[in-house]
Amino acid sequence: MAQKDKKKQKTFRPKARIPRGFRDRIGAEIAAERAMLARISAVFEAWGFDPLETPALEFTDALGKFLPDVDRPNEGVFSLQDDDEQWLSLRYDLTAPLARFVAENYDALPKPFRRYQAGPVWRNEKPGPGRFRQFTQCDADTVGAPAPEADAEMCALFCAVIEAAGIKRDGYFIRVSNRKIVDGLFEKLGLEGDAKADVRLAVMRSMDKFDRFGEEGVAALLGSGREDDSGDFTKGAGLDDAKIETVLSFLKSGPDETRLRFKEDGAGLVARGQDTLAAIADLVGETKSGAEGLEELSGIERATLNFSALPIIFDSSVIRGLDYYTGPVFEAMLRSDFKDDKGRMVQIGSVGGGGRYDGLVERFKGVKVPATGISVGVSRLLAALALQDKTAETAPGPVVVLALEKDQMSSYQQMAAELRAAGLRAEVYLGGSGMRAQMKYADKRGAPVAVICGEDERARGEATVKDLALGAELSKDIEDNKAWREDQPAQFSVKRGELVEAVKKVLNRKP
């Protein structure tokens, strides 16, 4: 009986699954990201920014409560309690840790302090298509520079970074606004003061969705609320119709993609900011905050004249969701001229943002420390590049050296080492299966070449080089197996000492 009961007991096996909002990545995507980040980092260093690395975990109180999704559990961040009962959180961006670093090392750092950083961040927010809870950010910041020239430089740097990533000058533009003109709007709406802080935050989050939801969607969020396609309902800010109309007029005062102005000489996109600034002045110019914001935007406009023909425009609909911005805010937008494999238009939209945050270091130091920066949306920019270059060939895998004789493993490793020393990717098959399985492995790895050295080749002092890429091309046209066996133009033998040069020649073959 006991034996029977024992048979009924099931061994617990955890289910192989991944938490919602996270994903695994492999191979080509990681290589593409690494290459793009290398190009971006080179731009940052050329502009005088030094690299910085901060830990993934920070004390929760050091990060602050600036996320736009604070109504979710853990207030938008993933948190845990340490063994000394202090709360730690995974960083939700790279800017808050920078502020902590600057405050901690303030006296030793040069001012201004210029740094760049790339790494993963985590947000406990509702996931969706293309929206993950872990993603990569790449930032550059200048801490200690109050002048509008620093903000203008950030806009120009954004342009240089996007172009280094692979987007052409006519494929993007940088939108610029100022949080103070939003504060001026709140003054006009009668939403000043601590008692209206929650309403202001709800209004600002609604405005930040103008590009995604449009006028109708934002109007719903400003009013009673909005139900999305999944049936989830977001409670609105509760404004009356007159105030909603004022907010929408504010959002529409800047240029949109159909109203951008171009220089007649064709020197690139140059939005005439005077018209936008005049429209904003008509709405909020009489308020104290609005006047300050307009003055700062005018300073940026003058400073951007130092950067000829850059696609920088002024647009009051730029809000930015993070609550620590205190002045100018920026957003990098791609034009909607990408097509997927089925010929459908794909909207990428924003690929990064940033702005001025003069109060973050002040949280630690008690004195204002001016700061401004940008953050590149790595995943979105990669997605855009993939659509833009969808006809480009996938990077090949490594050369695979087949291991047909166990007692010859050292000679196989020597072949791979020689190939690597010549700057080629190479590996030895270590799976323990036969030749057919090894060839299937090379195919799955995307290997351009397989190197075969069995007993016969070894006796002749040779190695066989199999051009897998050419073989795949030729097999499409070969209908007669006999002809294929007799010809085999994609496979040849070389002297062992000529292996590296033979493989190089195959890899350099023009299609």
The Cα 454–Cα 443 span in angstroms is 19
pLDDT value of residue 254 = 63
Closest to 453 (Cα-Cα) out of 487, 418, 409: 409
Q: What is the pLDDT of residue 485?
A: 47
At 112, list the tokens.
């201004």
Contact 121, 134 (CB under 8 A): yes
Place of tokens 């593409």: 32
Q: What is the CATH number of domain 28-388?
A: 3.30.930.10
CA distance 326 to 370: 10
Beta bridge partners of residue 340, listed in sequence order: none
* pLDDT computed for residue 385 by the predictor: 86
Element (DSSP H or E) covering residue 29: helix 28-46
H or E segment at 436? helix 435-444
DSSP character string of 232-296: -EEE-----HHHHHHHHHHHTTS--TTT--B-TT-SSB---HHHHHHHHHHHHTTSHHHHHHHHH
What is the pLDDT at residue 265?
31
Contact status, residue 53 vs residue 119, Cβ threshold 8 Å = yes
Dihedral of the alpha carbons of 18, 20, 21, 23, in degrees to the nearest 10 = 20
CA nearest to 313, candidates 260, 264, 351: 260
Cα separation, 308 vs 320, in Å, equals 26
DSSP string, 416-428: HHHHHHTT--EEE
The gap from C-alpha 416 to its chain's centroid, in whole angstroms, comes to 35
Q: Within 10 A of 314 (CB to CB), how many other CB atoms are there?
A: 26
The kind and range of the H/E element at 143 are strand 134-143
Q: Any idea which residue has 């791609």 for tokens?
A: 334
Q: Rounded CA gap, 164 and 508, in Å?
A: 26
Give the pLDDT of residue 398. Answer: 94
pLDDT given for residue 2 in this prediction:
58
φ, ψ of residue 142 to 5 degrees: the values are -120, 120
Give residue 482's pLDDT.
53
The predicted structure's pLDDT at residue 110: 94
The CATH class of 399-507 is alpha beta
**pLDDT by residue for the chain (511 residues), tens digit each?**
556 565 667 888 999 999 999 999 888 889 899 999 999 999 999 999 999 999 999 999 898 877 654 444 456 889 988 888 899 999 999 999 999 999 999 999 999 999 999 999 999 888 877 678 999 999 999 999 998 999 999 999 999 999 999 998 888 889 999 999 988 999 999 988 888 888 888 888 888 888 778 889 999 999 989 988 777 888 889 999 999 999 898 888 765 543 333 332 333 333 445 677 888 888 888 899 989 988 998 888 888 766 657 888 888 888 876 778 899 999 999 876 666 666 666 677 789 999 999 999 999 999 999 999 999 989 889 888 888 775 455 678 899 999 999 999 999 999 999 999 999 999 999 998 999 999 999 999 999 999 999 999 999 999 999 999 886 655 555 555 555 445 556 889 999 999 999 999 999 875 5
Domain ranges across the chain: 28-388, 399-507
pLDDT at 329: 94
**Which amino acid is residue 104, in one-letter code?**
E
How many C-beta neighbours within 10 Å does residue 251 have? 20
Burial class (CB in 10 A: 0-12, 13-18, 19+), 334: buried
**282, 318, 283, 287: which is closest to 300 by C-alpha?**
318
Residues written for the chain: 511
